[in-house]
A and B are shown apart, each in its own frame.
Chain A
Amino acid sequence: MPLVATPAVVLRTYRYSETSKVVRLATRECGVQSAIAKGALRPRSPFGAGLELLSEGVAQLYLRDGRELQTLAGFDVANLRRELALDLGRFAGATALAEIVLRMAPAASHPAAYDALVAGLDSLVATGIAAADAAGIRALWRLLAVLGFEPSLRGCVRDDTPVDADHPVTFSAAEGGVLCERCAAERPEAAQTRLAARDYRDLLVLNDPTAPLPALDAKHAAAHRRLVARFVRHHSGEADRFPALELWERHSWAPLSPPQPVAS
């Protein structure tokens, strides 16, 4: 059984027996893997605090082809990302990213998806609370793009007619992008969303990783969250299996001011 060392992010952890954990990992070289971390809950466990949700490090895995559950020999943590716990909005966005990798990424190696996940988590850590929504939305669109679901935004998804960014536009989650006026009028569908010119321009910027993040107010941020969540649900074919995405989309918690350090 070969021992493989690969960069990995913890996507999910489950208690297993009194002392062990089962973890689901996004790995750079081996895709999404489930592994048992024996003794991870013991006080002197070599895994220590590393196997926390969203932490990143180098996983040492005993891999056997055809096995659903691999064995995790070690996890050298490099980045715990505890900052995400300081804000529910950023944390919810980060878990939505993890959920999309769990549900939509292939089991085989996909370094681009791994890199997009890490970049998305890093941007959520680095971004202030005010821009957390925009960072989360961009990270989700980028992840979807590398997973093969990049929306067509510059030209009509049906006939490639260039779409004018100064006018309202129709976005079809089902067809995977924007529609020109003629196509939108020709065959209207339930999964279509009408975007104001400003929202369309913001959508273009959100899908351009080189551009600065747009300033989204609460109403527009909510609209963009709904749009990307709708897109995910449509293309995954598993509308009811995205609880983290739904929580992030609804933002059901009360609007809160930035946190203060808690006295210990």
Chain B
Amino acid sequence: MSAIDDLVTELARLPGIGSKTAQRLAFHLLKEPAEAAERLAQAIRRVRSQVMACGTCGNLADEDPCAICRDPRRDATLLCVVEEAKDVAAIERAGRYRGRYHVLGGRVSPLDGVGPEALRVGPLVERVRNGSGVREVIVATNPSMEGEVTATYLQQVLRPTGVRVTRIARGLPVGGDLEYADGVTIAQALAARREMGEE
């Protein structure tokens, strides 16, 4: 197998990249200066060798514990539970949440063979129980069926700890349009309505 074929094969294994895109990327890299390809190779090597899962929250970071777990300005009484590390990045981008996180490492998905025992549920219960002062757990799993069943399961295992368990709201997206929203989303938005003037 030639070096180009080798690169195309490896690129095509990435999610969302088909063989044609892989070929285009490979030829693009060949057209670029050698340093650009070297920088990419180094970035991939670095991310593989340096990035690790935070031992406390499971987020991906260069250090353990991660910057969020180390930050004393973060509210340690609030814990936001997400499916994947990329969800931490999404919530951080919003810039409004000042608590800490717990990354489950997936969601319950029987068709993929993922049961609750495959997720970081035990460490979550330990974190809540061990006197870390957590008052509220915000379950921010995706509003899909698997995300909902994961949320239900978390609620049930956390109930004996006495901590407040809340679920992120579902409804219309900001900037959305009622005309284009589907019936289920409108129904959820109506069910989760609140008094005007509440923040």
Contacts and interface: CB of A to CB of B under 8 A. Distances in A.
B101 to A, nearest CB: 19
Interface size band for B:
35 or more
B110 interface: yes
B192 A264 contact: yes
Given A262-B155, A264-B192, A12 B111 contact: yes
A194 B25 CA distance: 61
Nearest to B167: A262
Give the interface size class of chain A. Answer: 35 or more
A259 B155 contact: yes
B16 A85 contact: no
A210 interface: no
Contact of B152 (A88, A96, A98): A88
Contact of A243 (B113, B116, B177, B185): B113
Interface in B144-196: 144-146, 148-149, 151-153, 155-157, 159, 164-169, 173, 176-177, 180-185, 192
Contact of B144 (A12, A50, A53, A84): A53
B148 A244 contact: no
B110 A96 contact: yes
Contact of A262 (B110, B149, B165, B181): B165
Interface string B15-30: 1100000000000000
Interface string A15-26: 111100000000
B183 A84 contact: no
Contacts of A49: 182, 184-185
Contacts of A12: 111
A48 B182 contact: yes
A247 B159 contact: no
B16 A256 contact: no
A117 interface: no
A264 B169 contact: yes
A122 B124 CA distance: 34
Contact of A53 (B16, B145, B169): B145
Contacts of B184: 48-50, 77, 80
Contacts of B16: 16-18
B167 A252 contact: no
Contacts of A47: 182
A67 interface: no
Contacts of B111: 12, 53, 95, 98-99, 243-244
A175 interface: no
Given A12-B111, A247-B110, A252-B115, A48 B183 contact: yes
A247 B182 contact: no
B108 interface: yes
A77 B108 CA distance: 23
Contact of B153 (A16, A50, A88): A88
A52 interface: yes
A141 interface: no
Contact of A263 (B15, B112, B164): B164
A77 B156 contact: no
A18 B21 CA distance: 14
Contacts of A257: 156, 159
Contacts of A243: 110-113
Question: Could you say which of A52, A247, A254 has the most chain B C-beta atoms within 10 Å of its C-beta?
Answer: A247
29 contacts: A15-B15, A44-B177, A47-B182, A48-B182, A48-B183, A48-B185, A50-B182, A52-B145, A53-B111, A53-B146, A54-B145, A77-B184, A82-B145, A82-B148, A86-B152, A88-B116, A88-B149, A91-B108, A91-B110, A95-B111, A243-B112, A244-B113, A246-B113, A248-B110, A252-B115, A252-B117, A253-B115, A257-B156, A262-B139
Given A44-B176, A247-B113, 16 more contacts: A17-B16, A47-B182, A48-B185, A53-B111, A53-B144, A53-B145, A53-B146, A54-B145, A84-B145, A96-B110, A252-B116, A254-B157, A256-B156, A257-B159, A259-B152, A262-B139
Closest 10 CB pairs of A and B: A48-B182, A243-B113, A85-B148, A244-B110, A49-B184, A95-B110, A53-B145, A85-B149, A262-B167, A256-B156
